Structure 1
Amino acid sequence: MRKWLVSVLLLCALPGLSGVCHGAGFKVSEQGAKAMGMGNAFAAQADDASALYFNPAGIAFLPGIQVSLGALGILVPQTDFHGTTPLSGTPPLDTGTAVVTEHSRRDIVIAPTLYASYALENLPLSFGLGVNATYPLSKSWDDSSVFRNQVQIASIKPINFQPTVAYRVDALNLGVAAGIDITYAMVSLQKSLYSPVIDPTAPAPPFGAYEVGSLGLNGTAIYMGYNLGLLWKPRRDLSFGLAYRSKITLDITGDANFLATTPTGMGAIGLSDSALFPYTRAHASSSASTSITLPDTLDLAIAWRPTDRITLEFDATRTGWSSFEKLEFHFDSPQFAAFNNQPDPRKWRDVWSYKFGAQYVVNPRLALRAGYSFDESPVPDQTVDPLLPDADRHSFSVGTGIGTTLGSVDLAYMWVHFVDRAVHNQEMTTLRGSNGVFKSDAYLLAANLNLKF
């Protein structure tokens, strides 16, 4: 019984680490203000240094030295929930049936970007370096929330380096590119733990939701992948783009710290479940590790310029989220030995996103942009949780570009509306999931300064 209980407790806690792994999910595709203003439909244009992210073959057509400095501000989705959870009610016994309304905390994530490209004068060869944050995540619920046993605070702070080389075949007006992605990420999670039984060593009625303690996790990861790009301009008014990013294996290592706040909690880590004093506490720690395979992505794009002033683009992106099938963890401490290698199914699915963008050049110094995209959610109903209450999403954006002889400034705004997500995956035996409806919206602002030398 002890093995079952602690496995449940920790595997319920650790999916917060999956935030490093996100179509939809939590991948942030807004890596340049010009592209964001056009709904991220940019892989067939790729005509500024942010092409390093959207389609690295684009730098094959950029002359001289070009640098793009930018920042993306994300107002983390204000998620509303209405329904029941395993803790809704009055723990420990009157739980799981009371209907509640909860609101996640608002937060702001700032993700900076730096892109630079250099074209050789005598050869059709270009080099580039991109620095960005593709998988930032921040989600928090109040400490008193009915989701406190699933997540209180979760955050991921990544930084990605992308060195790239591109070659231009002038006879075909074709650019090809290859690069690598090297990412370092810091991960943290905080939550409360509850048990469905009062004594982990001798489970017996009454069943309910008994406080166990508090769990904190901190970890880091370094991973590497590769990317490829192709950009073909068969005519002056038409271009085709193709970009691919590989699967990558994310190896997370860190520390788990558990504070038992009740006799039930002490029993969970193998100590006596009887306390001399009502507020006796005990601490346990262990190193922890897991591996997650993040998805590959394929972008197919076409851009059309019916006039010198108008550009229209459509992109389709496939994300292979079926690579994220489960979570499985290893703990080194003997106190945690019974928790090892307990798989937690995720069963995400491959998804597509569709992006439409338009630009109108008013004059050489001013461009106006607008875009729309639709992203399918990879998260099946059985694994939707308060850490990532994902849903199909509609994104609407507007932007502008202000040009000078030395470069330009790009600004963009995006509203992301998540379709209401109804879930029915509440499990009282594991105190996970919920029955109800999640509602979310996110707001993004981006700015880039583009310089040419």
Structure 2
Amino acid sequence: MRKWLWCVVMLCSLPGLRGVCHGAGFKVSEQGAKAMAMGNAFAAQADDPSALYFNPAGIAFLSGFQVNLGALGIIVPQTEFRGTTPLSGTAPLDTGTTTAVEHSRRDIVIAPTLYASYALDTLPLCFGFGVNAIYPLSKSWSDSSVFRNQVQIASIKPVNFQPTVAYRFDDLNLGVAAGIDVTYAVVSLQKSLYSPVVDPTAPAPPFGAYELGSLGVDGTGTDVGYNFGLLWKPRSDLSLGLAYRSKITLGIEGDANYLATTPTGMGAIGLADSAVFPYTRARASSRASATIPLPDTLDVAVAWRPTRKLTLEFDATRTGWSSFKRLEFHFDAPQFAALNNQPDARNWRDVWGYKFGAQYQVNPRLALRAGYSFDESPVPNETVDPLLPDADRHSFSVGAGIGNALGTVDLAYMWVHFVDRTVHNQDMTTLRGANGVFKSDAYLLAANLNLKF
């Protein structure tokens, strides 16, 4: 019985923790309005303190004390799904073949950023400190949706702290930098649980979708990584950038709460199921732990200034999502003992993103910007789900910078269009997956204030 509950929980619910964000996978690269307006092609320019994220070596060329304050607003896409799921139809028996049209809930996520740099007067040395959120997003579907057994509400609220030091070799016009990443994240998940059989202890027809109850998981995790960057300016009109950010493995610690709402749900945690339906209610809780890998990234970039006013840049970014091979949870309470040491395969793949950006300096006070990027999805067809209906995506952005020698205000807008994702991974034995098409779009707004002292 407990092994069966593991199938429901691990195969259906816990994968939700790995997809609460979007980007390439669930990475959000929009960490500065200037860069975002140029399609995030910024690792070879890196000429304001937000370089701490894109290429920390850029701060080696900054002067004095500079502070960059900003915020990114993400309108979470109202994903549309058309097709069948294990719960589409009339439960418990007539499910899995009825076509449904479902929309996720809209949401807005605000992710603030803070970057600061201080260059010494006597040495070509600069210190930096950044605070950002590389993985902020949420996803939720209605409590009555056909995906309610796969996800209802999921969110991740991270914060990353990055102290950095950079040095400039004036003879070579070369900047180098290294820093530490300390990432803390709060994770939450809520969903309904269903069984494909009415008696999990003796699986037999009739097969369908039988309600068990609901599950909630809340946890936090912290880990440390590192980053480094190189920025070389061999000519006044050309700069080359290289940046690397290491993998971070978050150790999630928290609580799991399960509420049985049917006799079958009570039996799933080893309790008597003799109470008269529908008045059955029983709650079980446990400490829970897991590890979630955040991948390493490598950026290679070139920026060219064909004229005094025009800057063009191209970046290529590799994200090492192949490190996300599986997800495995451990529960401490006796009722959950059989759920331990059961890996859930993910098998994501490494992917590339390609970014193009341009800036035109109209006059000393006004700069106009535009950009385009293409990101591959790391999620294979077998593990696409309603929590992260990920797909290859095209991003288009515009923006402007207004300011003077003392400070600049940067504004940016980005439209992210996800290529329609067709999936055929519906599994009636685990009641997860779907057969159909996911459609998504996202809209991002960013503003930054850069001050020079």
Unpaired runs of at least 5, structure 2: none
TM-score of the superposition, structure 1-length normalised? 0.99
* Separation (CA, whole Å) in 2 of partners of 1:277 and 1:446: 52
Alignment check: 8 A CA contact 1:21 1:293 kept: no
How big is the shift at 1:242? 0.2
| Cross-structure match for 2:238 | 238
Aligned-residue CA RMSD (Å): 1.1
Moved more, 108-117 or 273-282: 273-282
| Cross-structure match for 2:172 | 172
Work out the number of aligned pairs and report it.
453
How big is the shift at 1:417? 0.1
Residue identity matched to 2:426: Q
Alignment check: 8 A CA contact 1:41 1:314 kept: yes
How big is the shift at 1:23? 6.8
How big is the shift at 1:277? 4.9
| Cross-structure match for 1:247 | 247
* Separation (CA, whole Å) in 2 of partners of 1:450 and 1:137: 25
| Cross-structure match for 2:263 | 263
Alignment check: 8 A CA contact 1:56 1:166 kept: yes
Alignment check: 8 A CA contact 2:79 2:103 kept: yes
| Matches for 1:234-313 after TM superposition, within 5 Å | 234-313=234-313
2:320 paired with 1:327: no
TM-score of the superposition, structure 2-length normalised? 0.99
How big is the shift at 1:22? 6.3
Report sequence identity in percent.
Answer: 84
Q: Deviations over 1:418-443 (max 9, x none)?
A: 00000000000000000000000000
Unpaired runs of at least 5, structure 1: none
| Cross-structure match for 1:120 | 120
Residue identity matched to 2:185: A
* Separation (CA, whole Å) in 2 of partners of 1:145 and 1:30: 31
How big is the shift at 1:31? 0.2
| Matches for 1:71-82 after TM superposition, within 5 Å | 71-82=71-82
* Separation (CA, whole Å) in 2 of partners of 1:292 and 1:406: 42
Q: Deviations over 1:202-241 (max 9, x none)?
A: 2221110000001011000011100000000000000000
- Runs of 4+ in structure 1 over 4 Å off: 20-23
| Cross-structure match for 2:206 | 206
Residue identity matched to 2:128: G
Secondary structure of the 1:397 match is strand
Residue identity matched to 1:159: V
Alignment check: 8 A CA contact 2:84 2:96 kept: yes
Secondary structure of the 1:241 match is strand
Residue identity matched to 1:173: N
* Separation (CA, whole Å) in 1 of partners of 2:126 and 2:20: 31
| Cross-structure match for 1:380 | 380
* Separation (CA, whole Å) in 2 of partners of 1:44 and 1:278: 63
* Separation (CA, whole Å) in 1 of partners of 2:125 and 2:195: 61
Moved more, 192-201 or 118-127: 192-201
| Cross-structure match for 1:443 | 443
Alignment check: 8 A CA contact 2:22 2:390 kept: no
* Separation (CA, whole Å) in 2 of partners of 1:405 and 1:394: 35
| Cross-structure match for 1:50 | 50
How big is the shift at 1:2? 3.5
Residue identity matched to 1:128: G
* Separation (CA, whole Å) in 1 of partners of 2:63 and 2:324: 40
Residue identity matched to 1:417: H
* Separation (CA, whole Å) in 2 of partners of 1:91 and 1:21: 31
2:434 paired with 1:434: yes
| Cross-structure match for 2:364 | 364
* Separation (CA, whole Å) in 2 of partners of 1:194 and 1:286: 20
Residue identity matched to 1:264: T
Q: Deviations over 1:281-307 (max 9, x none)?
A: 000000110112221100000000001
Alignment check: 8 A CA contact 2:181 2:226 kept: yes
| Cross-structure match for 2:162 | 162
| Cross-structure match for 2:102 | 102
How big is the shift at 1:5? 3.5
Alignment check: 8 A CA contact 1:355 1:374 kept: yes
* Separation (CA, whole Å) in 1 of partners of 2:215 and 2:351: 33
| Cross-structure match for 1:347 | 347
Alignment check: 8 A CA contact 1:163 1:179 kept: yes
How big is the shift at 1:107? 0.1
Alignment check: 8 A CA contact 2:20 2:139 kept: no
How big is the shift at 1:250? 1.0
Check 1:143–1:317 CA distance in 2 against 1; reply closer, same or farther (3 A cut).
same
| Cross-structure match for 1:402 | 402
* Separation (CA, whole Å) in 2 of partners of 1:227 and 1:440: 32
| Cross-structure match for 2:226 | 226
